[in-house]
Chains A and B, each alone.
Chain A
Amino acid sequence: MEKRVRFVSAWLPWVLIAPQMAVVLVFFFWPAGQALYQSVLSEGIFGGDTLFVGAENFERLFADESYLESFKTTAVFSLLVAFFGMGLSLLLAVMANRVVRGAGIYKTLLIWPYAVAPVVAGVLWLFMFAAPMGIVSFVLRALGIDWNHLLNSNHAMTLIVVAAVWKQLSYNFLFFLAGLQSIPKSLIEAAAIDGASPWHRFWTIVFPLLSPTTFFLLVINVVYAFFDTFGIVDATTHGGPGKDTAILVYKVYVDGFKAMDMGGSAAQSVVLMVIVVTLTVIQFHYVEKKVQY
């Protein structure tokens, strides 16, 4: 879309975009370039003896069991977060869209976790799963499950998934609700006149029409699980037990800032950039198609 009329000035637009360009260049393009540059270098611990190593950092990375393991962990984690987060919020959104009375109140009560920082969400859930005072772990023990997220990887994974889903619920809910409200009422009424039950209507009319929203949220949730959940992991499991909940972002942090392997960390950053760019391009492509439709 373009404006028909424009102002004419040789210098004013540059002045207007200067602040944003300055920030973008200094804190985005420069670091991104650095990441690319460092990813092909190897730096000694004492500095000075920096070597060009080409793709070696990447080769080392993909030969590294723990990195591949982290990849797998991230994939499992993000799929779980996306599936449960979107499933639950879709259910709630459909219900909130159904009820007339109290819809506004439900909405207000459901959206506030958006305001909670991931790390705080992690702390909250850690407290509920902590021994001995944690309510949830107590209930689980009463049910015969010996809860211990410090030793049991599945328990640890469950903990971060629950915290991540809880935090993201409000965001998904808002988008599903907006998506549902944009479906023309007349379509649903037509289906009702055709004799479709509410259950049937949902799966044959509403859900297909909601697919752009669903797809959008899928990408957003995967990106969220990849990057925004650092705080949750850092507050709860520290990537443990072992490295079983060390998602990629956590590993970048640990390798780069704890282990000080900048070359390896930069290579990891580059891999992450490739992943995000791919996701964004897929999404952009899809959004464009949607516009045409």
Chain B
Amino acid sequence: MIERRRGLTILSHAILLTGVAIVAFPLYLTLIASTQSAEQIAQSTPMSLWPGGHALETYRTALFGGATSAGTKIPGAASMMWVSLVSALIIAIGKIAISMLSAFALVYFRFPFRNVVFWMIFVTLMLPVEVRIGPTYEVVAGLGMLNSYAGLTVPLIASATATFLFRQFFLTVPDELVEAARVDGAGPMRFFKDILLPLSTTSIAALFVIQFIYGWNQYLWPLLMTTNEEMYPVVMGIKRLIGGESFTEWNVVMATAILAMLPPALVVMLMQKWFVKGLVDVEK
């Protein structure tokens, strides 16, 4: 910064640390709760801020399911996490693949109705699935895609975000590179494979992070789409654990929450650099 003001610097750190603490506190409580027993939590006012000794059994129950001491039957999170993982991967990879191809067509070809196509895709930017849940549900139901991975994922692939990121990136690729490739005798698909794809790795990585999280965190759509427990993603599973009439096993809920947060949080933290770049690029 411009001048050295010790007081200001200390204040900045203090504010940042407070911010970090506020952001992290719910996570800490979640972790703590997942190590205590359900009774411990339910009977304390407030709950203890120190770890309990029930971590192993809580996580075992959360992961693989079974009956708890209170008699609640817990569905295992492991299979739900698998559903989440598969859907998130299909959404992320599917989006990247189809939008990269369409962005390539939009940027590198001239064809009739190109502007119409462009606007048709652009309009989808505006309407998140939440806005059109009812009719989309009916379409998916009509196609017999309820309770299937296709139903969970394909309707969510219909978003323009990724197309626009790739379009923006392709527009920054120098024209002379295409020309050089043409002089070198490369056709469109060869150019795509040999030049464009390797140059897009950063964008691909960034989009992967964003779309993986988007896919993993879907809630409303699976809520409508799935009636079969085997097709429940994990974030839906958590909600079901607290939704029942029976006694809420908070320790299991919290352990499941940790399990549900872990994969996307890891992806964000490990791929932070790409993720931040991609996020800021997508929206600008």
Chain A residues packing against B (C-beta within 8 Å): 1, 3-10, 12-14, 16-17, 19-21, 23-24, 26-35, 38, 88, 91-92, 95-96, 98-100, 102, 106-121, 123-128, 132-135, 137-138, 166, 169-171, 174-175, 178, 188-189, 192, 198, 216, 220, 223, 227-228, 230-231, 234-235, 249, 252-253, 256-257, 262, 265-266, 269, 272-273, 276-277, 280
A6 touches B109 (CB 8 A): yes
Q: A116-B265, A133-B47, A269-B133 are in contact. Are A88 and B108 (CB under 8 A)?
A: no
Q: A91-B15, A235-B239, A269-B135 are in contact. Are A120 and B130 (CB under 8 A)?
A: no
Interface centre among A114, A171, A189, by most chain B C-beta atoms within 10 angstroms, is A114
What's the nearest-Cβ distance from chain B to residue A103, in Å? Answer: 9
**In the bound complex, what is the Cα–Cα distance between A116 and B220 (angstroms)?**
15
Residues of B within 8 A of A31 (CB): 132, 135-136, 138-139
Residues of B within 8 A of A12 (CB): 105, 109, 188-189
Q: List 23 contacting pairs A-B, 8 Å CB cutoff, sorted by A.
A: A3-B178, A13-B105, A13-B109, A13-B111, A19-B98, A19-B102, A24-B120, A26-B139, A27-B155, A30-B135, A31-B136, A35-B134, A99-B12, A102-B13, A117-B216, A132-B44, A134-B47, A189-B2, A198-B8, A216-B283, A256-B133, A269-B131, A277-B126
B219 touches A280 (CB 8 A): no
B139 touches A123 (CB 8 A): no
B85 contacts A by Cβ under 8 Å = no
**In the bound complex, what is the Cα–Cα distance between A27 and B137 (angstroms)?**
9
Q: Which residue of A lies closest to B114 (CB)?
A: A13
Q: Which of B51-59, B60-68, B197-205, B254-262 contacts A (4 or more CB under 8 A)?
A: B254-262
Residues of B within 8 A of A262 (CB): 134
Residues of A within 8 A of B9 (CB): 98-99
Residues of B within 8 A of A253 (CB): 133, 220
A166 touches B23 (CB 8 A): yes
**In the bound complex, what is the Cα–Cα distance between A198 and B267 (angstroms)?**
37
Q: Mark B143-185, 1 if CB is under 8 A from A, else 0.
A: 1000000000011011000010000000100010011001000
